Structure formats: structure tokens, C-alpha cells
Chain A
Amino acid sequence: MRLVIERGELLRALGHVTSVVERRTTIPILSNVLLRAGNGKLSLKATDLEREVIEDVAATVSAPGAVTVPAHMLHDIVRKLPDGAEIEIKRDPEKERLTITAGQSRFALQTLGPEDFPDIAAGDLAHSFELGAADLKRLIEKTRFAISTEETRYYLNGIFLHVAEKGSSRTLRAVATDGHRLAQVELSRPEGAEGMPGVIIPRKTVHELHRLIEASSAPVKIGVSPSKVRFEIGTVTLTSKLIDGTFPDYGRVIPQGNDKELTVSNADFIGAVDRVSTIASERGRAVKLNITGDKLVLSVNNPEGGSATEEIGVGYTASPLEIGFNARYLLDIASQLEGDEAHFLLADPGSPTMIRDGGDDTALYVLMPMRV
């Protein structure tokens, strides 16, 4: 195997694929990236057995072949080479080394055979559709904060992506919950998604995907089967296994009859929650919301540390209500809202509260109160 490649191209591709490589693993080959040269391109592939990322880059290939080398080390080397450098990559068959030459620098890396490199073998995925990068980003960004990190309820450790009905229209919906709060966002169902199974996309895949689409604006091709999902973003392909479990029937926890509506300037609300919660020294202290007439009083009381209150003007006509929430949960949700106004739909201090975005009616949030 022998090829020449431009440093910037290689660096970008390595940046995409190596982030799935675990820093610590007991299976040596999982620390490696698979390089395969042929047909005027270099193909890079990395995996952690749950997901894999493949990227093709143009290269001048003089001898095709394949090899694996330590991914993070190769990435570091390429990163430190000067901008614009021409890199020659060559495998020395007898010495089982991969040499990398650029200018006066020369590296020889230990290799492992490509035949042992794992493959997720996704094959054909039955359902496929396209989403704009911005739409996909929205689905992820507005829900991922609610993904559970607690591993015994593994079926909550991801985003539930499925087709749903909203009134008479069909939607593609993303839902995440950790049992304390829930986030749901949807968009109209893209062509090809009909009949697709509901799937739970693991948290790490969600983060990888977000990283890959962050800077891109091209449409993303998505393929889904009951056990795998694939995202094609330009020259990069991310394929992932899905969480094998049943997402709970979340519809039951979305309150239908909450009739006490509170409208508040989101910026004022975030500022006030942030300020009063300074007093709460420990995780999980409640912010109390006291709503009467057109005013909302937020307060935190910490017997050891002191207390704080702040009052803001709101729109509210229902009977007075006092309800407590975890300050961090409130901030997590409020910072997802795009509109100027946040709408709270409340029932009583022990029941779920619904929060809607004044600027976006495709997203909704549900939060369970706290009690002291």
C-alpha cells in the first residue's frame, strides 16, 4: 500500500472518525483506524463495536492495500505536521510498519492486520429518507439534554425517533426522558419515513452525529432498520446499533388537562432562576414558584446558606399556585426555547407541568415538580 495525500484533507477525516475510538479498550484493534487505499481515494474507518464511522478522501494511490494503525496517534501526528504538507503513507510489508513521511519528518507506526477489523455489517436498511442538517440538528439539540444517564433503565439512554400523528398530519418525532422531565420535538414526516419502526438512538451516537452535522448544511441521508441506523453526511457515514428495548408509552405523561396558563418572558425567567438558585449550595434544591395575579415570585430557601427571592411580572389569570422545581431542570428547558415567551401549563404542585415555546409549537417539554 502506498499513497500521497494532502494534510488538511486527512486531518479533517481523522477528526471525524477517531472520536468514536475509545481511549481505553481491552481489545487492541479497537484503538486502531482502518486505512484502505484504492481507486484514487483513501477510506478511513473507526469503530467501538456499537457504531462505526467511515470517510472517503481523495488521494493519489500508487499501490492499493489496507492496514490498521493506532487512531489517536495517527491523528496527533497529522495534526502536528505543517499546514499544506504532502503526506506520503507507505506500508512496508516485511517490517509490518506503516511509514508516514512529510517533509523532513518520518514516522513508522506499528500495524495490525485489516482482516481482524470489526464490521457492524449493517447491510441494506429497509427505510430511508432525507432530512436537512438544520432539521436534524433541531431534533437532537432540543431533546438530548433529557436523555437519562442511568444505566439500569437502558431504554431511556437515547432519543426515541419514530413517526407519529399530530392531528391529521403525520410527523417524525424525537422524544427523550430521564423520568424527571421529558422533551419532545417533531417535524413533518419526510418522504420515505412512513412505516419506519420506532428506534432508540444511543446517547453516544447522538453526540457523534451532532458533531458531524454541526458544521454542515447539506441534507443527511438516513437509513433505518429495526436494529441499526445509518447517517450519510457528505463523505462521512455513521452507522450505529440501536438500543434494544421498548421506549415507555410517553404519551401518558404528557398532561392534557392543565388549564392554568402562565406566560413569562423567557429571558427574565432564566435570569431570575439563575440568580435565586445561587443560594442553593447543593444539587437538587428546589426553586419555589409562587404565582398570584400577574406576578411570579421565585424563591430559594437554604436553611444553612440563606434565602433569595425575585419577583417578575407575568401573564396569569388562574387561581394562585405554589409549586417547586429543580432549578437546573428549569434552566435546561428554558434555554431550549427560541421564542421570547415561555408558556407554562400547570395543574397542581404534585402533577406534571407542560412548558411550550412561544416561538415554536413543534416542541414541548414536561417537567415533574419537586416537593420539600
Chain B
Amino acid sequence: MTAHIRQLPAETVNRIAAGEVIERPASVVKELVENAIDAGAREIDIVTVAGGLSLIRVTDDGHGMDRANLNLAVERHATSKLPADDLLDIRSLGFRGEALPSIGSVGYLSIASCQHGARDGLEVIVDRGSKQPIKPAALNAGSRVEVRDLFSATPARLKFLKSERSENMAVSEVVKRLAMAHPEVGFALTTGERTGLRLPRADLSGDGLLQRLGRIMGREFMADALPIDGERDGIRVSGFAGLPTLHRPDPSQQFLFVNTRPVKDKLLIGAVRAAYGDLIPKGRYPLLALFVELSPQEVDVNVHPAKAEVRFRDAGRVRSLLIGALRFALENAGHRATARGGTLTVETLVARSEPPAAAPFAYRATSQAAASHLPRGFSDAMQAPFAAFDEPSADSSAAQDEVAPDLLDHPLGAARAQLHETYIVAQTRVSVVIVDQHAAHERLVYERMKKMLSNGGVARQGLLIPAIVDVGDEEAAALNDKADELAELGLVLEGFGNGAVAVREMPALLGDTDIEGLVKDLAAEILDNGQGFALLDRLEAVCSRMACHGSVRAGRRLTPSEMNALLREMEATPYSGQCNHGRPTYVELKLTDIERLFGRR
């Protein structure tokens, strides 16, 4: 028997399309909220019940639709957003005319809409693919789109959904991302009985964007965010990036928007990594939200069914602009370390405040805290310290002197004392600064060494026997393309045929090292993000290790002038706000915070 080729019915076609566009309830929310934003809404209200499976309702106060438009909206490939049929000139979030018919084919869809100035609203219903006649409806200006019994037409899809909780999280994630890009729109999300998000419309002339980002990414981010602003060749990047001392174990708080469209992009992760480089410990990720704006002609948004990815015409330019803008902001942040240090300190102190009578006891408890974790051995119990010698030392010599008033004007102030031979306590006009002397000095030495590395060029040690590394054809080609850049860093290699490269010279600084591992890491990175960092990482790791040895150790007494010199050098050195291991080198306690401690505020 021969199978007949036939045109599929519209219903089936829509369901196939829905399979791509509508993956889970969060996809519906994304499409509906995007439509509301495209319609110029100022307030968007979102309600979901049972993880979005029994109800999703999105209400907006946008421009609404008239009868003709409402009729067409649920038809396949019908859109108002591509007036010139030009896919290279997309200025709205929607452009395919695919979302509503797809949703209508897999569940029960009702769209009620009322144009501004119109007397009555109208409603169209599509029930699992079958469209019903338009009828009158009562509502305010704007649109209200409801989706019920999602996926009841495609039970197979239901099986693949996660728990209600994770569907709710996905919905909230989608709304947050869109809300970050549209601070001028107010959002309200209610999941089930609970109010999920309340994001009031923000005023864009002031710090509206940062306020909005803060509500979504956290108060800490708001306190530690550096404004980013860069423009080159008609590409603009703006937004906020966290200080390097604020980081987390995954990149989930790194947001990139291209022409207000939230996208996931390896380019961003790579650029951020390159920009923050050694300021962040391995395996940790900074927080940031960056907005790229460029002419729609320069970017293809039509590459992913859920529009989650874009393709830049000139990705290299976008990347270097991102890195440049981030580096500029980070360098100017100089010694500024996370504000969290200070806040945390104050919070701990407040939490620990006890009646004065308990104080001596509390002090003993902390000084012995470390010992009490250890199993009490026989000899431990027997060996009692001379109590008098066990007191922490306090070298307060600096505090005796009069403070030169001009020192107080420096950002890190005037050194007043060294405590425990480890911490420098300094005073500014508005705060108390505590510096970890070893961490700070280590960073300074490291930055100096890195400068040396770039000034003197990287010395290369020739290899007696070239190391032949099998990496694979693609990898070998990628390495070859970067051969010049690698040579500048001291690694000289060339193609060896059959997916192998021959390494002829290595950076002398690395000594006798694992060449194969290094080259393989580099190849993988270059393929992944167009650039390899493994080599720079290792060179910097060597510098960092050497810096650690050449630094003022904790436990050395410093004279007041040595302490002040260290503070001045920190102020003058970019990135000195955190040590090589990503920890802050100092914390600042604002007088206002201290006053709060004593209940004076």
C-alpha cells in the first residue's frame, strides 16, 4: 500500500508549531506578557493557578484590538508587527504571528480586548483549535488573555512537565527577566493564592532601573552595582555589574538583553569571564544585568523557537565592547570592595549584642572557639596557658599621634592602629576602615607582577622535543587561528596534521608543566567562546602564588607610616579591593551603621 502525501489540517499544523513555541506554562506566560509589552501596556497583571495548567491570565492596559484584529490575532502567521515584511528590521518582541494560534491549539484560549475610546469590548475564544464566533465582553481598555486547561489537547506534553513548584519558578523567572528590561512597566504576578511579585512602575529618569534590578537581583546587588555605559560603532551597552567581591557559584544571576529582549548567550558568559578575569575566584560568577542596544539590522533574532538566542552580525565587536565597558567600570572601582562586608559585620554585631555583664564571658568564648571544636586530647587538657600571655596584642601606637587632617580625606583614611598584627584600623571622616594587611599587600604585589609580565614580554623556553598534542581537527584549526595571540603569551605552536599540534616553545614562567593538559583546555575554550583563557589563567596563577610569598604576612608589626603607605597604594591600584582569592581586602563600617549599633539611630 502506498501512503498518500496530503496537506495537514490547520489544527495539526498549529499543534506542531505549538510543540516548538509552547514548551511549558512559562512559555505561554512569556508570549502573553511579550504581547502586552508590544501593545504598549503600562501595567501588566499575571495570574496562574496550578502551575499554569488550569489557568493563566494576563491582563494589560495596552492599546487593545478592534474586531478585525481580534479575528486575525488567533490565525496562524497573522501579525501586526512586521509592517514592511522585513525580518531584518524587527523592533518588537513578537514578529511571527505564531504565539496565539499555537496556544489556542493546545488549550482553551479566550482573548477579550477593548480599544481605548471604544464603547464595548469583544471576546474571541479558541477551544483546542476550534475558533468560536466573536462576542461582546465587558472590560476596561486593554486586553485580557486567559488560557485554561493547557495541554489538554496534547496529553503527551503533560507527562513531561515538572512539579507545580518548578513550573511556578519558571513562570516567575520569565516575568522577572522581562521586567528587568522594562522598568517603565509595572508588573504583578500572583501564583495560586500567593502574591509572587509586585514591581511598581519605575521612573527612568532617576535610578529606576537600578531599583528594579535590586528588587529582582537582591539588595546586595543594588549596593554593590557599578553602572556600565559604553558605546562604539553604533552599539551601546548599559546596565549594572556587581563588584568582584560579590559572586555566586553559578552564572544564574548574569542577565543579558539585546534590544530589550532577554537572551541566553555564551558570548556574555565569555566576555564577563574575560573582563573579571582573576578578580573572581575560580568557579564563582559575578552578578550583572547588561543591556545591549544596536540597530535591528545588526542582529538576527529569528534563530531560536523561543527567541532565547540571537545572532550578532559582528559578535567580536559586541564582545570587545562588553569587555571594554566592564573593565573600565571595574578599574575605576579601584579599591572599592563589597559593601556587604560592612553590612554583614554590622548585622552580626547587632545580632550578638548582649547585656554588658555578659561581655567578658563572650570574649572568652570567642578566643577559645577554635580549640573547642577539636577533640580534647589528654595533653590539651593538661597544658594550661599563661592567661596573661594569651591576650590578643593591640599595637595602638598610631592612635597616640594626632591625625593629619588631610589623611582623613583619603577614601581609606588615616591609619590609627594595628590589631593582632594583622588588621589595620583606619579612620575617615565618615567611617572606620579595617584592612586585612596580608590580603591587601598580596593583591598589590600581584598587580605589580602582572604589570611586569606585560611590560617585559613573556619569555619563552624552547622545547628540545616538540610536544605533539592530539586535539582533533576542529580544535587544531582553532588553535592555529589563535597562534599569534598565544605566541605573545609565550606559547608557540603549529599544526602537525591529523588533528594534532606541535608545541615548540612554552612560557618560561610555567617551568616543567603539563603541556598537553594546557593545550587541550585552550582548544576547548577557544571553540566554546572564541578565546582561550587557560594560558593567561596559569600565568596569572604563578604570579599570584609568587605574590603570596612576597607579601607582608599577617603577624608583622607595621609602623604608622608603613600602614598609611599601604592604604595609599591600595587607593592607587586598580582591583585592590579584593585579594587574589576573591575575598575583600578591607571592610568599611559607616559611622551611621555604628551609631545604629548603639541605638543612636
Contact = CB atoms under 8 A, between A and B. Distances in A.
Verify that A and B bind, or say they do not.
yes
B512 A179 contact: yes
B82 interface: no
B517 A180 contact: no
B512 A152 contact: no
Nearest to B514: A152
Interface string B444-462: 0000110110011101111
Contacts of A289: none
A283 B458 CA distance: 12
B459 A178 contact: no
Given A284-B508, A303-B456, A304-B455, A370 B462 contact: yes
A285 B464 contact: no
A368 B467 CA distance: 14
A178 B457 CA distance: 24
A346 to B, nearest CB: 13
A302 B456 contact: yes
Interface string A298-318: 000011100000000000000
Contacts of B459: 284-286, 324, 370-372
Contacts of A177: 464-465
A326 interface: yes
B142 to A, nearest CB: 66
B134 interface: no
A294 B515 CA distance: 39
Interface string B503-524: 0010111111111110000000
User: Which of A177, A180, A303 is most buried by chain B, counting CB atoms within 10 A of its CB?
Assistant: A180
A284 to B, nearest CB: 3
A283 B513 CA distance: 13
B161 interface: no
A351 to B, nearest CB: 8
B512 A372 contact: no
A264 B462 CA distance: 24
A302 B459 CA distance: 11
Contacts of B511: 283-284
A248 B465 contact: yes
A253 B466 CA distance: 10
B463 A368 contact: yes
B546 interface: yes
Contacts of A369: 462
Contact of A179 (B452, B456, B467, B509): B467
Contacts of B514: 150-152
A149 B510 CA distance: 13
B464 A370 contact: no
B508 A152 contact: no
Interface string B425-460: 000000000000000000000001101100111011
A250 B465 CA distance: 8
Given A282-B509, A284-B509, A304-B455, A253 B465 contact: yes
A180 B455 contact: no
A177 B455 CA distance: 32
A283 B509 contact: yes
A352 B455 CA distance: 27
Contacts of B457: 372
A366 B465 CA distance: 11
Contacts of A91: none
Interface in B475-530: 505, 507-517
Nearest to B460: A371
Interface residues of B, number: 28
Nearest to B462: A368
Nearest to B449: A282
A248 B467 CA distance: 11
A250 B464 CA distance: 9
Given A302-B456, A370-B459, A286 B508 contact: yes
A339 B261 CA distance: 76
A350 interface: yes
A370 B455 contact: no
Contacts of A179: 463-465, 467, 512
Contacts of B465: 177, 179, 248, 250, 252-253
A370 B456 CA distance: 14
A282 B464 contact: no
B24 to A, nearest CB: 45
Interface in A133-171: 148-153
A142 B448 CA distance: 39
Contacts of B455: 303-304
Contacts of B516: 152-153
A173 interface: no
A182 B462 CA distance: 13
A181 interface: yes
B461 A326 contact: yes
B512 A178 contact: yes
Interface string A105-134: 000000000000000000000000000000
Contacts of A326: 461, 508
Nearest to B542: A283
B508 A150 contact: no
A326 B461 CA distance: 8
Given A302-B456, A304-B456, A352 B464 contact: yes
A175 to B, nearest CB: 12
A370 B460 contact: yes
B464 A180 contact: yes
A103 to B, nearest CB: 26
A371 B452 CA distance: 17
A253 B464 CA distance: 6
A368 B461 contact: yes
A250 B462 CA distance: 16
A371 B456 contact: no
B461 A180 contact: yes
A68 to B, nearest CB: 27
A285 B507 CA distance: 10
Contact of A304 (B452, B460, B464): B452
Interface in B352-381: none
A370 B461 contact: yes
B446 to A, nearest CB: 13
A149 B508 CA distance: 15
Contacts of B513: 150
A248 B468 CA distance: 12
Interface string A172-192: 000001111110000000000
A336 to B, nearest CB: 17
B461 A284 contact: yes
Nearest to B458: A372
A178 B511 CA distance: 10
Contacts of A324: 459
Contact of A303 (B452, B463, B467): B452
A288 to B, nearest CB: 11
B512 A285 contact: no
B210 to A, nearest CB: 41
Nearest to A254: B464
Interface in B55-95: none
A216 to B, nearest CB: 32
Given A150-B514, A303-B452, A372-B457, A285 B463 contact: no
Contact of B462 (A150, A153, A302, A350): A350
A177 B510 CA distance: 17
A180 B509 CA distance: 13
B508 A370 contact: yes
Nearest to B487: A371
B569 to A, nearest CB: 15
Contacts of A302: 456
Contacts of B456: 302-304, 372
Contacts of B462: 180, 350, 352, 368-371
16 contacts: A148-B512, A150-B513, A182-B464, A250-B465, A253-B465, A284-B507, A284-B510, A284-B511, A302-B456, A304-B452, A352-B464, A366-B464, A368-B461, A368-B462, A371-B462, A371-B505
6 closest A-B pairs by CB: A284-B508, A368-B462, A304-B452, A150-B512, A253-B464, A152-B514
Given A152-B516, A179-B512, A304-B455, 5 more contacts: A153-B515, A177-B464, A180-B464, A304-B451, A372-B457
